[in-house]
Chain A
């Protein structure tokens, strides 16, 4: 049988790096094909070439045996290639139908489009009302908008970039039903993910990239997740291990924390209560947009709170500014690396000063000690294996994973008493993620109280002692992780948001 899409010897070089080096890949009609690799392995470049966003330097692409040379995404779409990006491009203030119409060349009348959207969403088990405003939708529902937008074009190949990173386990099940149904109808799917167990459950074949080259192919069902991970990394993986540790006194005490939503599309915190003891790792799971950013801001001191809601070692933190909290040892690392955790155009030394000033003694009576700050930045770079020419480089010149290592390292090396991190390994490759998780565990073993906010449930299961779920700004009561399985966690996360599984 002729493959639906055949890539032969695709090469694309950027100044200083070969993103794709003679990549060869075949996808049969109806096949669910996984594309695996660490950050910077060349996955994005490859799919961008297929989707017409990047032109290959050499090599050929064939679609059903005929040459396929997409000059732009429009050409790719008309050839039957659809793509669902990791980051959605939707307008919050518009309705679902309006958003979909915006992405079409010749949108049908709104009423007809609404009918089409309903048809597609029912056929594939993706319930979605065309009239709803996108700003009110959950991340999973937003993804459905993007998927339906692609399906309306009746694609032969659907590219999905990290689709499950924002979904609850139940939503993941629904998505997989949809993808299997599409596959049964002959639509091929190119599936990019870091989550190896998902790939084993869903995909028919996998191609593994490392350093721009294809380093292996496998049948995911017959290959263990560990073997796949080691193929990706090219070496054996160290699983983060918690050292035996005792939990001590309550260090961070959050009681009835409530705060209004900071913006129209933010989330209000409602009566959030938890305690973290010394040596304890509390994992807080939840789908993005359920109050994670707001919770971190309340703990870092960016948003003020009412007295009595947050206290550290019995001391009320309501009137303690972020800088003073750091002085006490209450540190945090927000999710958004560029622009929140770090200033993009400033050097790593300057970014080390941003949060290190108080606790590392980098500023004495307002006077800044730059040589000492530089040494601190160099220490972060060395101990956390941040790949950069040096501390004078701008934060934005680092890849996402490397900047994440820098941001986490900056806080971990300040010997925190309490560390709150949001999405500590988001977009970080397997080896670096393991290193970051290990550093968090070591910190707890050393007697710090650690709060890990994450959407990656595997991560939370792996490192946290107790687990709580954040849903609509409310936090469930923390429960020991050892008592929980994925199914229960899914229910704690607020269930499947009233969605039913596709009727195949």
Chain B
């Protein structure tokens, strides 16, 4: 008989070991999945994890690691602050979209004027857009006690409709021969989030992600607000007793995660993506949830997890084109990672005992 026995203290070893175990289990069960789909599992796994970094075309894929990793890390940092406090923003995807729309719109409003002030203005607009979109579930929760999970998630679909409307209407490129989508910001120097060092994939979004990581780390370790976030997540009543204002904390956490998601969207639309289009969003906002948990809600862990998930995105693309794996299989693969991680998390607070024994409650 297998029993779970509560540990007197959460295990520190297990807290670090579970992400590694989860990745290994995902590789094993992902391999089984690929085998069932008729692909060679070993080849599929190496394509996903090895090819992008060390393969023949690594010079092309490595910069992609930063390009795909930066938005994941930026969004996940914001989500992690909320998740630590037990505030569940599931709608980062929507905040990412609205941030991109606001950022792009701010730039396009000045087209074709060239000025050094345009890009900073776009950054502000993108951050504001994401923040405002996240404040909707925030204010509704504080004022009326609505569930932020549902409201933020539903707003993703609203944002997607807004994105489609913008691509086909307000922001449509007037010189685009009727095709949906805005002007390409890559061709508008003042609004282009170009590579800072050619060939590295390093753009302003990467810089923003690193700054966010450092600030979040300092906030959680050294600042009263970070402490309030952690206590609220651990014991809401104790936090309230300690003087935390729950409503303000909800607004701060949702606002910050929305702001960072909006920034990520803005950096994406002005750089790697280039334009607002119907299929602009590719699920970074949802994948960032996995990144946040895989990184143990710890800013440094999130950097590692963001890079790993970026790898599965790139490797998944390669596997799709080279091996013909369906896109959905890659998504299942990514989902498995979260699933195993959450399941293994039990081991942090409990240990497994084999054999019979009495109940000791």
Contacts and interface: CB of A to CB of B under 8 A. Distances in A.
A55 B225 CA distance: 47
A69 B358 CA distance: 13
B9 to A, nearest CB: 5
B225 A366 contact: yes
A53 B222 contact: no
A196 interface: no
B360 interface: yes
B37 interface: no
Contacts of A340: 235, 237-238, 241
B361 A53 contact: yes
Contacts of A302: 240-241
B223 A367 contact: yes
Nearest to B245: A321
Interface residues of B, number: 24
Interface in B211-258: 222-225, 227, 230-231, 234-235, 237-243, 245
B224 A346 contact: no
Given A336-B237, A346-B234, A396 B361 contact: no
Given A54-B360, A321-B243, A326-B243, A339 B223 contact: no
B241 A394 contact: no
A322 B242 contact: yes
A321 B239 CA distance: 13
Given A322-B241, A322-B242, A354-B242, A368 B223 contact: yes
A339 B242 CA distance: 11
Contacts of B235: 338-340, 342-346
B359 interface: yes
B243 to A, nearest CB: 3
Contacts of A341: 238, 241
A363 interface: yes
A396 B235 CA distance: 12
A54 B237 contact: no
B8 A366 contact: no
B23 to A, nearest CB: 25
Range of interface residues on A (Cβ < 8 Å)? 35 or more
Main secondary structure of the interface of B (DSSP, over half): helix
Contacts of B231: 343, 346, 350, 354
A291 interface: no
B247 to A, nearest CB: 12
A323 B248 CA distance: 15
A250 interface: no
A343 B234 contact: yes
B10 interface: yes
B234 A355 contact: no
A367 B222 contact: yes
B227 A353 contact: yes
Nearest to B242: A354
Contacts of A343: 231, 234-235, 238-239
Nearest to A364: B224
B243 A301 contact: yes
A55 B243 CA distance: 45
Which of A301, A336, A357, A366: most chain B Cβ within 10 A? Answer: A366
A394 B243 contact: no
Contacts of A396: 8-9
B230 A346 contact: yes
Nearest to A398: B8
A121 interface: no
Contact of B223 (A345, A354, A366): A366
A53 B357 CA distance: 11
A334 B224 contact: no
Contacts of B243: 301, 321-323, 326, 358
Nearest to A357: B224
A393 interface: yes
10 cross-chain pairs, A with B, having the tightest CB-CB distances, nearest first: A323-B243, A322-B243, A343-B235, A55-B358, A354-B242, A343-B234, A366-B224, A343-B238, A397-B8, A340-B237
23 contacts: A54-B360, A55-B358, A300-B241, A302-B240, A322-B240, A322-B241, A326-B243, A334-B241, A342-B235, A343-B234, A343-B235, A343-B239, A344-B235, A345-B10, A345-B234, A345-B235, A350-B227, A357-B242, A366-B225, A368-B222, A394-B8, A396-B9, A397-B9
Interface of A: 14, 53-55, 300-302, 321-323, 326, 334, 336, 338-346, 350, 353-355, 357-358, 363, 366-368, 370, 393-394, 396-397
Given A55-B358, A341-B238, A393-B9, 7 more contacts: A54-B359, A326-B243, A339-B235, A339-B237, A344-B235, A354-B231, A396-B9
